[in-house]
Structure 1
């Protein structure tokens, strides 16, 4: 399956537009990650624990979108957009949404 942010696939002809597809993931950030990120906030530097959580959430959202596209008989998703949102009263939840158009190319 080809996943791309562009509206076309270079060198391929899109023969059918199936549907808009989405992949969503809401991930909770645990106490240990919060504590480690708090230390990074105080002393500076990158928060590896939050970066890992963000990477994992994005990969899961893209995989979910890809699975939904495959269920429609698509072999690619074009025009992909990925959005991030921090949720919850204490900002303890991360939502990642991936969307695009499922297509069939030849």
Structure 2
């Protein structure tokens, strides 16, 4: 499966558009990671616990996007955009949404 942020795939001809698709993940940050991130915020530096949670959520959203593209008979996704949101009362949940156009390429 080809997944790209561009609207074309060099060397490939788009034969058919299968529609806009999405891959969404809402991930909660557990108590231990939240404490570790709080300490990082206090002392400074990078929050490895939040970074790893964000990386996992983004990878899962892209996998979901690929699965949905495959389900509609596409072999590529073009124009991919990834958005991030913070959710929950304490801001302890993140939502990652990947969207794009499912296409069939030669």
TM-score (norm 2): 0.99
Query: Paired residues, what number?
Result: 106
Q: Which residue in the other structure is 1:16 paired with?
A: 16
How far is the alpha carbon of 1:51 from its aligned partner? Answer: 0.2
**Correspondences of 1:69-80 after superposition (within 5 Å):** 69-80=69-80
How far is the alpha carbon of 1:80 from its aligned partner? Answer: 0.1
Q: Which residue in the other structure is 1:59 paired with?
A: 59
User: Would you say 1:40 and 2:40 are equivalent positions?
Assistant: yes
SS state at 1:45 partner? coil
How far is the alpha carbon of 1:27 from its aligned partner? Answer: 0.3
**Structure 1 runs not aligned, ≥5 long:** none
Q: Which residue in the other structure is 1:105 paired with?
A: 105
Q: CA RMSD in A?
A: 0.4
SS state at 2:73 partner? coil
How far is the alpha carbon of 1:4 from its aligned partner? Answer: 0.1
SS state at 1:52 partner? helix
